[in-house]
Amino acid sequence: MEKIKELVLKQRKFFESGKTVDLAFRLSSLKKLKKGIKKHEKEIYRALKEDLNKPKFEAFVGEIGFVLKEIDFVIDHLKEWTKPIKVPTDIVNFPATSHIYHQPYGVTLIFSPWNYPFHLSIMPLIGAIAGGNTAIIKPSEYAPATSKAIKQLISETFNDEYISVVEGDKNISEKLLNIKFDKIFFTGNSEVGKIVMKKAAEHLTPVTLELGGKSPVIVLGDANIRMAAKRIVWGKFFNAGQTCVAPDYVCIEESVYETFKKAILEEVKKYSSVKNLHKHYSKIINRRHFERLMELIKESHVIFGGNYNENKLFIYPTVVEAQENSRVMEEEIFGPILPILKFENYKRIRDYIKSKPKPLALYVFTESNKQKERVLNDIQSGGVTINDTLIHLSSSYLPFGGIGESGMGKYHGKYSFDEFTQKRAVMERKTYVEFPLRYPPYSAAKLSIVKRLF
């Protein structure tokens, strides 16, 4: 505990030196981070393979390449973002000018999960650096190889007074939460998110919570069924379904249910028949999650798949026909199980989804602009992709985050910069003239003038 306190104090002292606020220092740090990632790229691939059996393609697309693209984007735009924003000044404050400055929070703490252990450690770090903060990263102990790789990368690239990695189990996390930070960024499940928020409240520390939930897919009667099936299968089984925005379940209008069911089974069969699938497919992170998922499968009506390799912690792509009250519909699946549900019409689908907590993502398949707008107006969610899955989070121009129980706060691109800075109001009054209106004595005439100004 004392070592962690000393590290936080060291980072606070470094932050107070003012060095992290300098634009040139921020840009240099982002370039160093990129160079360090490139240098350690092979080790990161190996770690992701060891922890999750991630194929190199998924490791690049979902982790390393994603992060490198984001660094380039932030480097290209950071100078513009850090400029004070001039805003109008009310006439009651004439003569004056008004600006919004972005000031860093200070010493930040980043908790990252195991499912995308590299991506979800470094993406928030990019925002912390861009905002002018110091940072301590606590990676998930469930992905130990990647945690070790991140620690090696960061320790070789930065001094620990600026950026550091603290490894350990939940006891270390609890110790970190007992220390005052200036900003906490947490990615994980909602139950732990509540604990983080509660502990942060003791210090009045602002938090960003990137959580999860059951992200639904809606397939309407006018959808391109073949394309919907293909893109849902890709999004669901990427990283073996261990993605916070993975399609959790599919709601299909009755008029196209049988057609969709046939199409989805064809696509999953294609996916599952890939030669040496285990080389192209992630494993379940650990035995506890494996056993939880196998229980869900055993209690479901499986129409495809259900195969597994217990020794290697593989669960192969599985499709189940579910009912609204099925156990598989009670919790976030976070694995390669895809429930499909038949509904009489869109209204029934809408009412069912709205009866559940607001999801992190919503997927809608329709060829109708009217139907698209109807869904967007009817159902709240963190983000939306129309006629595809997952891809809305890949854009540095779009905010990524949840709503309600799926999280609070947004990041990616400028939204990361905004999340790690505080908007500071700055008004500068001129001294070449002064008006006596605001000074006593307060007469009826003065009040009359002030009312007109307001």
Q: Which residues are catalytic?
A: 210, 244
- Do 228 and 350 meet the contact criterion of CB atoms below 8 Å apart? no
Residue 297: C-alpha distances to residues 3, 85, 176, 301, 304 (Å): 45, 54, 37, 8, 11
Alpha carbon distance 239, 252 (integer Å): 24
Packed helices 119-131 and 23-39: angle between N→C axes, nearest 10 degrees? 160
Alpha carbon distance 106, 250 (integer Å): 43
Alpha carbon distance 449, 437 (integer Å): 8
Alpha carbon distance 108, 135 (integer Å): 5
Alpha carbon distance 179, 344 (integer Å): 53
Among residues 45, 177, 159, 60, the alpha carbon closest in space to that of 110 is found at 177
Alpha carbon distance 110, 10 (integer Å): 17
Alpha carbon distance 239, 75 (integer Å): 29
Preceding amide of 441 cis, omega within 30: yes
- Do 126 and 30 meet the contact criterion of CB atoms below 8 Å apart? yes
Structure tokens at 101: 């400055």
Find the helix or strand (DSSP H, E) in which 75 lies: helix 65-82
Amino acid at 384: V
Residue 401 region by backbone torsions, left for phi larger than 0, else alpha for psi between -120 and 50, else beta:
left
Packed helices 119-131 and 65-82: angle between N→C axes, nearest 10 degrees? 10
